[in-house]
Structures are given as C-alpha cells and as structure tokens.
Amino acid sequence: MLNANSRKEPLVCYLLFIAMIIEVPYFNVFLMASFLMLVVYVLKRGHKLIINSSMIILFLFGVSYFIFDHYLAQSATYKMWYVISMVSIYACGFYSTINISEEEELALKITNSVKFIAIVYTLYVAVTLVYSISSGQLAISRNPLNIWTGTLRAATHYGTMLVIPLAYGLWLAFMEKTSKKNTSGIMLMIFAATVAVMTASRTILYLIPIGTLVIYFYGIRREGVTRQYVNRLFAIVSFVSIGSVAYIFNLFGIKSFFMMTSLGRRYLRVMPQH
C-alpha cells in the first residue's frame, strides 16, 4: 500500500492501515479498514475493478476456513468482514503495484511498506506490554491485556505480531551495510526475544534462530563466503556457547532469573519430572 516518492498514498489510507494493525475495535474499524482503503484507493486512482485468480483463491480459502471452523464464537457478520478484509488488503497491494514497471521502484516501495508495518507493530506491542506491566497483569499471567478493552489476549497473538518486525530486524542486522541499520536490526531482535520471555510465546522464540539461519545462508548464497560472514558465524557461535554455559551453571543468576519469567514457568511445566 505504501509508496515512495511520486506515488504517495492518500493520508486516510495510512490512518486506516494503522487502525487495522493496532486493532481499533470501535465499529469494527480494524475489520473494515482494508475494505475502506480499497475503496479510497480505487476512487482516488480511478482504477477499474480487476479480480484475479489469487483474489478468488484467497476468498475461497477464507470462506472454507470458517465453514469448517467450530471454535471461533464470532458472529457470521464478523467472519464475513474478516474474509472481505483478507481479500481487500491483498487487492490494495495489487492495485498499488499495477502501474509500476521499474524493478527498483517496486523494491523501494516494498521496503518502505515492510518498514512501516514493522514500526507500527513494534510500537503497538511495546505499548501493550507497558500497559500490561503497569496494571500488574504480567505478574499473574503471561497473557497481556488489550489496550482498547482491557480484556485478556492470547500471548501467542502478540508473538505473531512480531513476525514482520523480526524479519525486518534480521534483514537490517545481516544484509544492510551500515552500523546504524545493523544496530537497529539487533535491537528489534532483542525486543522480539524480550517479548517472548515476558509472555512465554515460544512461537516467536523459535523463529529467531530459524530466521537467523535462513538470512545467514541467504546472505552467503547472495554474496559468497566473505570475511564478514565468517566473523558473524564466530559471533553467533560464541554468543550461543557463552549463553548456554551461563545458563547451565547459573552464572550471574541467569538460570534463576529465567525460571522466574513467564517463559521459565511455562518451560518448567513441560519439562519431565524426575
């Protein structure tokens, strides 16, 4: 949706996109936001309505999922808007790139879009954690509070919100050439790991090493085995080794501290008892 330079999107599209990401619940704005973006975008750009095979497949997948689902208690109207939202956000991306023929411009547009999404998700999760900590919720449960309604939300929900910020952080840390961007990427990775420990969300915790391996070998395939990648491998192995030894022997009380966190308590429950 978000373009660079001469292809700026209407401000209302930015605001609706943010409302969707941060799940503004009033009048189901977060569900309707992508459809409203699509309407604004089509009217603003004057595009003809185009329905491709991907949109049809995505629509059928959404409908099929809710037909066979027996767990979600939401109404049929809610589920209908959920499917419309999925198709609409894809259509927004399709229409926003339909007139872009230059590969460099398309790459810049995608990069800016991912950066924007990563920033908004990171801020939203950070605000949620601060709110949950200040209310004392994380002291009694691993599930944070919804900042809009004050109700409990699944910890995994916030872990999955960090998938794009984590992916963007890995790219900055491993693929960018400036120390400022490398540092920003490492900070995003640390933030994702912190959220995983605080909320016991193993989903994002598993994705950190998996994503690191994927981006590391992708970099080698792209640029070859350079000294930079050898140094990074040494740094990764050293970090994992030192961390493992510190945890096993409880150096500086690291293991004791970990076991007091939500992830540590969850880890204890799944460990076999001797």
- Residue tagged 């420990």 (tokens): 197
Would you list the DSSP string of 206-267?
A: HHHHHHHHHHHHHHHHHH-S-HHHHHHHHHHHHHHHHHHHHHHTTGGGHHHHHHHSHHHHHH
Q: Which residues contact 42 (CB under 8 A, 6 or more apart)?
A: 49, 95
Question: What's the confidence (pLDDT) of residue 6?
Answer: 43
Asked if 23 and 34 count as a contact pair (C-beta separation under 8 A), the reply is no
* CB < 8 Å & 24+ apart, contacts of 151-160: 155/199, 155/200, 155/201, 155/262, 156/201, 156/203, 158/125, 158/128, 158/195, 158/199, 158/201, 159/195, 159/196, 159/199, 159/201, 159/202, 159/203, 159/204, 159/205, 160/203, 160/204
Q: What is the pLDDT of residues 42-53, one digit of tens each?
A: 887 666 777 889
If DSSP codes are grouped into helix, strand and coil, which group holds residue 152?
Answer: strand
Residue boundaries of the structural domains of the chain? 1-99, 103-274
Lowest mean pLDDT among 87-101, 113-127, 182-196, 218-232: 87-101
Q: What is the pLDDT of residues 101-140, one digit of tens each?
A: 778 888 888 899 999 999 999 999 999 999 999 999 888 8
Lowest mean pLDDT among 71-85, 154-168, 246-260: 71-85
* Phi, psi dihedrals of residue 145, rounded to the nearest 5°: -100, 145
DSSP state, residue 74: -
Q: What is the pLDDT of residues 73-87, one digit of tens each?
A: 677 888 889 899 999
Asked if 121 and 164 count as a contact pair (C-beta separation under 8 A), the reply is yes
CA angle 119/18/208 to nearest 5° reads: 35
Q: 176 to each of 179, 188, 217, 272, how far by Cα in Å?
A: 8, 14, 15, 43
* Phi, psi dihedrals of residue 152, rounded to the nearest 5°: -75, 140
Would you list the DSSP string of 6-57?
A: T-PPPHHHHHHHHHHHTT--GGGHHHHHHHHHHHHHHHHHTPPP---HHHHH
| 55: nearest Cα among 88, 100, 30 | 88
**In 135-176, where does DSSP find H-type helix?**
155-161, 163-175
Question: What's the confidence (pLDDT) of residue 7?
Answer: 55
Q: What is the pLDDT of residues 160-175, one digit of tens each?
A: 999 999 999 999 999 9
d(CA 45, CA 118): 26
Asked if 106 and 97 count as a contact pair (C-beta separation under 8 A), the reply is yes
d(CA 37, CA 134): 35
Q: Which residues contact 264 (CB under 8 A, 6 or more apart)?
A: 197, 258
